[in-house]
Chain A
Amino acid sequence: MNGKVITVTSGKGGVGKTTVTANIATALAMLGKKVVAIDADIGLRNLDVVMGLENRIVYDLVDVIEGRCRLRQAMIKDKRQPDLYLIPAAQTRDKMAVSPSDMILVCDELRQEMDYIIIDSPAGIERGFRNAVAPSDEVVIVTNPEVSAVRDADRIIGLLEAEEKGPGRLIINRLKPEMVARGDMLSIDDVLDILAVELIGVIPEDESILISSNRGTPVAMSGLNGSSASQAFRNVAQRLQGETVPFVDLTPKTGLLNRLNNWFSKS
């Protein structure tokens, strides 16, 4: 087997990298793939709680790298899916405990038995980012429709191109369709205009994401009340597999005034 390494990164913190990683990994596993998610955010471990696996950690990524355990021992199996695993980050160390070549070695071993290795990159553009990107075959950039997040995404795209890992594909997370319709949020087209990269997913702002995090069950799996975010994540997984999946129409149902507006601006 020759698994594919996908790194999830963003530059800016707090845009939803960990949530995206957990959900992409889960959604790919739901498609019957063998998937391992790696938390590369050494010192700020979080993917474990989002995936609901925090109580089962014995060994972590740094234990593997420093030879205290075998790779298999650090892989926590998610019992809700047939083939989903997590390699957690070390909590008491820092980014310097891992080098880019360590990550390449670990991933090369994982490629033998997994279909997908999904790496959650830490925020920033320093060592942690370089560790996360070094082994990647493909990069997914997460951004929010906000000036700060888009600016940082642009910087990341530049860095990826410099490392010949680019350009990567984009997920716009936390889109609020009503605000876009009102003209008070950057639209999907605005963001794509500015960043000029391929889009692989749009995740609407959705309470079910937080509710699922609270419970430690990624929304792709819980599918709370047919949540639109859940569907959006599953669509991303299919696109990662090379399928063509149309983007869900996120324009809100329009009221009379909006329709009037549209009618006038068209004419």
Chain B
Amino acid sequence: MNWFERLLGKQEKSGATAKQRLQMVLIHDRADVSPGLLEQIKDDIIEVIAKRLEINPDNVVVNLDNTAQESRLVAEIPLLQQNGRRRATVQ
């Protein structure tokens, strides 16, 4: 968006929206992975991880990522840990 449109509080131009939407849909098309399948994979991952580690299922993100050479599945699973330190067990 240019300065003038931002001044007027305008919406993003439809051409830019079209490009972003296309890029998203093509990531799924090219890998032949539907958004629904991605959800299922995410649920499966949460189930496996949650057996061993404390996680908040709402913070788990599973996405497809495309570069020129390859598509990759990227999962972000933040752990529930205070200060990033191991909690000491004091007897």
Contact = CB atoms under 8 A, between A and B. Distances in A.
Interface of A: 146-147, 150-151, 154-155, 158, 179-180, 182-187, 190, 193-194, 196, 257, 260-261, 264-265
Interface residues of B, number: 17
B25 A151 contact: yes
B3 A154 contact: no
A155 B15 contact: no
Nearest to A146: B18
A194 B22 contact: yes
Query: Secondary structure at chain A's binding surface: helix, strand, loop or mixed?
Result: helix
Contacts of B48: none
B26 A184 contact: no
Contacts of B4: 257, 260-261, 264
Interface of B: 2-4, 13-16, 18-19, 21-23, 25-26, 29-30, 68
A264 B2 contact: yes
Contacts of A151: 22, 25-26, 29
A58 B59 CA distance: 68
B14 A184 contact: yes
A154 B29 contact: yes
